[in-house]
């Protein structure tokens, strides 16, 4: 867990990645969640369908029904990476009608797209 402050908003950030065996325990972190930041490895074309399944399973959680969604299409700096539109399609983002979401191209290594995504998210949260 880490606290990140951006635009006068404190984010309690939990990295819930990891092995499939620990995923049932994720719901321990769901209460009072106002936003989900979902990071997709855009260079791993083979796993986008698996990522979609995991993503939509999270969206079905009752405690997360009002959470805004920020998706980072990460690793845009790598050759052959899916662009943000392809990641959006792969995740089925256009089917999400009941909450605010946005997707941003990103390269965590280069720091590209990260602030743009946090800017969008902080504006969404401030408007609530």
Catalytic residues: 19
Integer CA distances (angstroms), 37 to 4, 79, 80, 119, in order? 13, 24, 23, 13
How many other C-beta atoms lie within 10 A of the C-beta of residue 84?
21
- Tokens 């399944």 correspond to what residue? 53
Helices 84-91 & 48-59, crossing angle to 10 degrees? 60
- Residue 117's φ and ψ, nearest 5 degrees, are -65, -45
């Amino acid at each position: 867990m880490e606290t990140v402050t951006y635009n006068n908003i404190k984010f309690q950030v939990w990295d819930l990645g990891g092995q499939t065996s620990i995923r049932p325990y994720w719901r321990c972190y769901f209460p009072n969640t106002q936003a989900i930041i979902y990071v997709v490895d855009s260079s791993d074309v083979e796993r986008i369908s698996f990522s979609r399944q995991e993503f939509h399973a999270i969206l079905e959680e009752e405690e997360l029904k009002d959470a805004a969604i920020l998706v980072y299409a990460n690793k845009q700096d790598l050759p052959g990476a899916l662009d943000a539109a392809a990641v959006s399609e792969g995740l089925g983002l256009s089917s999400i009608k009941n909450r605010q979401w946005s997707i941003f191209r990103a390269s965590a290594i280069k720091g590209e797209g990260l602030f743009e995504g946090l800017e969008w998210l902080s504006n969404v949260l401030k408007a609530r």
